[in-house]
Amino acid sequence: MEATLSAGIGTPPTRSVPDTPAQVDLAALTPGTPAFVDAVERVLLDFFATRREIVDPLGPVFVDASEALEQFVLRGGKRSRPGFAWTGWLAAGGDPAGPDARAVLTACAALELVQACALVHDDIIDSSRTRRGFPTVHVDFADRHGAAGWPGDGAEYGRAVAILIGDLALAWADDLVHEAGLAPAALARFAPVWARMRTEVLGGQLLDINGEAGGDESVDAALRINRYKTAAYTIERPLHLGAALAGADEALIAALRTYGTDVGIAFQLRDDQLGVFGDPAVTGKPSGDDLREGKRTVLIAEALRRADPESAALIRTGLGTDLDDAGVDRMRALLVELGAVDEVERRIRELTDTGLRAVATSGATPQAKQLLHDMALAATRRSA
Amino acid sequence: MEATLSAGIGTPPTRSVPDTPAQVDLAALTPGTPAFVDAVERVLLDFFATRREIVDPLGPVFVDASEALEQFVLRGGKRSRPGFAWTGWLAAGGDPAGPDARAVLTACAALELVQACALVHDDIIDSSRTRRGFPTVHVDFADRHGAAGWPGDGAEYGRAVAILIGDLALAWADDLVHEAGLAPAALARFAPVWARMRTEVLGGQLLDINGEAGGDESVDAALRINRYKTAAYTIERPLHLGAALAGADEALIAALRTYGTDVGIAFQLRDDQLGVFGDPAVTGKPSGDDLREGKRTVLIAEALRRADPESAALIRTGLGTDLDDAGVDRMRALLVELGAVDEVERRIRELTDTGLRAVATSGATPQAKQLLHDMALAATRRSA
């Protein structure tokens, strides 16, 4: 259920966190590069090390759980949210060679812990069994329950532990912000945006669950989920957070937020399109996977809005079932015929344009403008 | 699974939050009194009102969820954790008639939102169906799913929503701390204790789940759960938080923490004893309820440690089963015969004594010493 920008920006590097306490040159950091990913993971690694002092006295059971969280967080991802936050800070004139850079990068890295909570809890909610090629946290602990030969329900145990590990990630996200070393004034600017971001992503997840349960088929409902679950959380608020840290003025913040909302929704629309039409060889997912999962996307909502009763019934009965290749092809043809695909492509172009225009005409630094331009195209013109 | 101090301190008042924006006289506030409960609930009510601005744009589904959280939080409880935090602040010379009092009370009230997360998630973990006489959050939303006539699994839907509502409570707890209006220096003293408290309670819950799953029967394991799940979270860290806000010195903080740990564990031991021997007419719970639930308490661990193989087998096979009254009576008699009951009573006395002595010989204000004395006796000598 969780969209990821991993595929959107550059090539996912095969890498491991450096063992040495690298003195990364922050001045040269570019979001999306392996060096940026390294720098964020170094912050996270150092933070996890500081938790040991609190965790250890509770004994090995809790140590195991916090190590499971650490492994989960460090297992991968392109660190897109910290990347956008860092870019927001650069856009508003943050100096990566200056004395605040380390604290800012640390606060940006805290977004990865919010994300860990979102993913761990989302995987429970969706009953997902794998994540990034590994068992999900609840499955991992259900397996440990089984391996220990304990009596009782292993699935329930796994779910219980995963709920607590997600909570821990959310609490630790705040701890990392508090311990980042931000100046009090910067922290005071950061906190209200941080508050909005967390409430919005939880709200977005709730709307998503509710949409699936109650079957709200409207385009507006799907767009609202994209806005809060993806755009606000992944691009808009991270940019806003970074800009707030740099003390950006209202006009620049407004421009960055417009970019974040529009490009963020366009990113999700591209994701939805690839989920139905993507090449399995490129996306790494079975063809038409989103159709089998029955995802209620804008693409589907547009199709339903345009369909006559007969076509609508065809879509509704096929969606969320174990379609064979011919069934997927029929559904695809229908989405094209109804004009839903063209409409989604039109929206992607329009949103990318408005987002890019907002930044181009803003007071963002030239470096940030270039970065945001590249990031927008990578997120919306990709094929995987 | 969650112990509550409600029964411990005074009589739970039948009350509702005042509708008018009361100008409560903070100088006269005494933890455990209806006036204190009112003052805390007024802070919470005002805070929930400030969230509307963030919640409303996401639409009625999210408004409903945040209202469910608000109702849950305001439904009751004696506000023991804010009470101990306030007392810690008083103990270190905090001036309830001074300019910081409002911000301090607000930060203390944030503990109730951490507690809301703990309870909502705990109820999922324990599959509890009622809480404070109402359906638990996950049951409530499962019921709403049914009432709406939606397809799909209502229980899964309820669980998903409750996971997110608990997350929201945890995020909002931080927001309330940030927005309390604390001076930056006070916030900087508060934050590391707040971090420890949240990590410890999550660790304590994890140990509890693990103890139940893996059946660690040792006295040490049971004491460690009591320490982190109850004592640290309910008394020690709240006192520590309040003292940190007032800028207490290390010696006073150490004394308050000793009190909190010892009295907190003694409180839980009393709870365990009442869970087996309490008078149903006074506790409001069926007699011997903890035996039927199979709770792994210090009382049980002490009995098992002292039992010969035959008695131990009797305890292990009876625990967690649907015992009839005669079965409960047999188990009780065994716990008495084995000396477990006397041992627990001895521990309660000893812990209460060491806790009280630590505070009596500390630099806490006389008013706080008296309050802490009364709170300790109420928590450990109660019959319900």
- Domains of chain B with CATH codes: 26-380 (1.10.600.10)
Average pLDDT, consecutive stretches of 10 residues, N- to C-terminus, chain A (384 residues)? 41 45 74 94 97 95 97 92 98 96 98 98 94 94 95 94 98 97 96 97 94 82 92 96 98 98 96 91 80 90 95 92 92 96 97 98 97 94 81
DSSP code, position A12: P
CB-based contact B58 A164, cutoff 8 Å? no
Candidates B50, B52, B56, B61, partner chain A, best to mutate (most A CBs within 10 A):
B61
- Chain B: closest CA distance from residue A236 (Å): 15
For position A25, what pLDDT does the model report?
81
Using a CB-CB cut-off of 8 Å, the residues of chain A touching B166 are 163, 167
Cα-atom radius of gyration of chain B, to the nearest Å?
Answer: 21
Structure tokens at A67: 């190590």
Kindly report which listed range (B9-23, B66-80, B281-295, B307-321) carries the lowest average pLDDT score.
Answer: B9-23
| Bridge partners, residue A131, by sequence | A134
Candidates B206, B229, B317, partner chain A, best to mutate (most A CBs within 10 A):
B206
CA distance A42 to A45: 5
For position B239, what pLDDT does the model report?
98
Closest residue on chain A to B124 (Cα)? A160
Could you read off the pLDDT of B181-203 as tens digits, one per residue? Answer: 999 999 999 999 999 999 999 99
Could you read off the pLDDT of B127-160 as tens digits, one per residue? Answer: 999 998 899 999 999 999 999 999 889 999 999 9
CA distances to A136, B11, B33, B157 from B14, rounded to whole Å, are 45, 9, 12, 33
List CB contacts of A142: < 8 A, sequence separation 6 or more. A154, A155, A157, A158, A159
CB-based contact B206 A164, cutoff 8 Å? yes
State how far Cα A75 lies from the chain centre. 15
For position A23, what pLDDT does the model report?
60
8 Å CB contact between A87 and A368 = yes
CB-based contact A54 B196, cutoff 8 Å? yes
Using a CB-CB cut-off of 8 Å, the residues of chain B touching A163 are 121, 124-125, 163, 166
pLDDT at B121 over 70: yes
For position B23, what pLDDT does the model report?
60
CA distance A85 to A243: 8
State how far Cα B384 lies from the chain centre. 16
State how far Cα A143 lies from the chain centre. 27
Can you tell me the mean pLDDT for B102-116? 98
Can you tell me the mean pLDDT for B59-82? 95
Residue-averaged pLDDT of chain B: 91
pLDDT at B366 over 70: yes
For position A293, what pLDDT does the model report?
84
Dihedral over Cα of A22, A27, A31, A35: its sign: negative
- Taking residue B202's Cβ as centre, other Cβ atoms within 10 Å add up to 32
Closest to B125 in 3D by CA, of B135, B114, B138: B138
Dihedral over Cα of B114, B195, A162, B55: its sign: positive
CB-based contact B202 A166, cutoff 8 Å? no
Closest residue on chain A to B114 (Cα)? A171
Candidates B202, B208, B223, partner chain A, best to mutate (most A CBs within 10 A):
B202
For position B280, what pLDDT does the model report?
83
| Bridge partners, residue A130, by sequence | A135
Can you tell me the mean pLDDT for B206-211? 91
CA distance B256 to B246: 13
CA distances to A152, B128, B289, B327, B329 from B322, rounded to whole Å, are 16, 17, 10, 9, 13
CB-based contact B164 A205, cutoff 8 Å? yes
- Say which of B150, B179, B199 has its CB closest to residue A214: B150
- pLDDT more than 70, % of chain B: 93
For position B282, what pLDDT does the model report?
81
Using a CB-CB cut-off of 8 Å, the residues of chain A touching B178 are 191-192, 195
CA distance A111 to A107: 8
Using a CB-CB cut-off of 8 Å, the residues of chain A touching B196 are 54
What 3-state DSSP class applies to B131?
A: strand
CA distance B375 to B359: 12
CA distance A150 to A139: 15
End-to-end, the C-alpha distance of chain B in Å comes to 16
For position A280, what pLDDT does the model report?
83
8 Å CB contact between A141 and A162 = yes
CB-based contact B59 A152, cutoff 8 Å? no
| Bridge partners, residue B338, by sequence | none
CA distances to A226, A287, A324, A355 from A332, rounded to whole Å, are 22, 11, 12, 29
CB-based contact B167 A172, cutoff 8 Å? no
Say how many residues make up chain B. 384
For position B36, what pLDDT does the model report?
95
pLDDT at B14 over 90: no
- Here the ipTM equals 0.92
8 Å CB contact between A365 and A93 = yes
Q: Quote the strand ranges of chain A, DSSP E.
A: 130-131, 134-135
Please report where in the chains the tokens 């005002």 appear, as a residue: B46
Select the more confidently predicted residue: A13 or B270. B270
Structure tokens at B326: 């005669």
CA distance A364 to B279: 70
- Say which of B156, B167, B212 has its CB closest to residue A170: B167
| Bridge partners, residue B131, by sequence | B134
Can you tell me the mean pLDDT for B207-213? 87
For position A12, what pLDDT does the model report?
39
What's the half-sphere exposure (Cβ side, CA atoms, 13 Å) at A125? 26
Cβ–Cβ pairs < 8 A, chains A and B: 154
User: DSSP of B177-195, one letter per residue?
Assistant: HHTS---HHHHHHHHHHHH
